Homo-oligomer: A and B are copies of this chain.
Amino acid sequence: MRATTIHAPYDMRVEDVPDAAVVRPTDAVVRVLRACICGSDLWAYRGEAARQAGQRIGHEFLGIVEETGSEVSVFKRGDLVVAPFMWSDGVCDYCREGLTTSCEHGGFWGAVGHDGGQGEAVRVPYADGTLVALPADAASDERLLSALLTLSDVLGTGHHAALGAGVRKGATVAVVGDGAVGLCGVLAAHRLGAERIIALGRHQVRTDIARSFGATDVVAERGEAAVAAVRELTGGQGAHAVIEAVGTEQSMNTAVNITRDGGAIGFVGVPHGSGSGVDLRVMFDHNIALRGGVAPVRTYIPELLPDVLDGTIDPSPVFDMTVDIEGVPGGYKAMDERVALKVMVTN
């Protein structure tokens, strides 16, 4: 089969690799219908996250179950399914508590020895615990397929950020980051009943999507000017709930300084850079909480899925470029150069 591999920074290839196959009785093989490229994939692309030469990549996909191991009981050949960005056994302490990202047997797509989502098919460990069924007729609805694909990562991650930030009915929310996760954070905050949503971003295409997702205000400034602008919009107090969807020192620093006393930051941007940007003294004096991390999207899919299916929320506009499997390297280039917001891969 064809699959995307990474050989060195900026060296993405699409190659023939061994067909995905059931290895353990709890495995399934899923033929990928839709996959996509994540902002966090760019850290590998840019060489800022280490990869072995030839390693697979891609952690967001949905598709059709093609084969199941003898112990797979929930799914059968032909089922339409979506995969969260990590696999999980569904039965350990953490999975039962809903923290599937801490599963004792969990792992990441594209880890050494494992298939990635940006390929024709994927061996799915712990299929019963990992996969979530989608209605079969969704396969023929292009827009809906795009929307459902966001359940594998960015929608659930935005939802995790909104929960971490303590978004509730009537809250004022600020969102740092205008990537797909930040935009899904806007959508999630709106869904949870936020009254006012301030999106920080300077790219009008993106802030237009933010507005269509429920943002009531846009702040184009950065750094201290952004802090001042959010303060001005909130009567000097800051936002009750702040979503941090970037992960740099500057973005975290901005998040800390625009949070209202007693409020919280939901952080889902993978932390990188030399410093943390977390000023503990500011957080201490103002009782600002920090909650978040890698999102247990497997747990969130059953909650979010009905709203996607009935159109209550439509995250599909985060995709603004589509490639086929052979076009994946070009998709990375487009996202790295910020020509594309998020690239979908069709098989």
Interface of A toward B, CB cutoff 8 Å? 93-94, 97, 99, 101-102, 164, 237, 252, 261-262, 264, 267, 270-271, 276, 278-281, 283-294, 296
| Complex alpha-carbon distance, A264 and B264, angstroms | 13
| Residue of chain B at shortest CB distance from A296 | B287
Q: A271-B281, A276-B280 are in contact. Are A289 and B290 (CB under 8 A)?
A: yes
Chain B positions within 8 Å of A284 at CB level: 267, 270-271, 292-294
Stoichiometry (number of copies): 2
| Complex alpha-carbon distance, A97 and B260, angstroms | 12
Q: A271-B284, A287-B102 are in contact. Are A94 and B261 (CB under 8 A)?
A: yes
Q: A267-B284, A280-B276 are in contact. Are A261 and B292 (CB under 8 A)?
A: no
Q: A99-B262, A278-B278 are in contact. Are A290 and B287 (CB under 8 A)?
A: no
| Complex alpha-carbon distance, A50 and B283, angstroms | 20
- Nearest CB on B from A312, distance (A): 27
| Complex alpha-carbon distance, A281 and B252, angstroms | 13
Chain B positions within 8 Å of A264 at CB level: 291
Q: Which of B102, B237, B276, B279 contacts A286 (CB 8 A)?
A: B102
Question: Does A102 lie within 8 Å of B293, measured CB to CB?
Answer: no
- Nearest CB on B from A236, distance (A): 10
Q: Which of B261, B281, B290 contacts A283 (CB 8 A)?
A: B290
- Nearest CB on B from A286, distance (A): 7
Closest 8 A/B residue pairs (Cβ): A102-B261, A287-B293, A289-B291, A271-B280, A284-B293, A99-B262, A290-B290, A276-B280
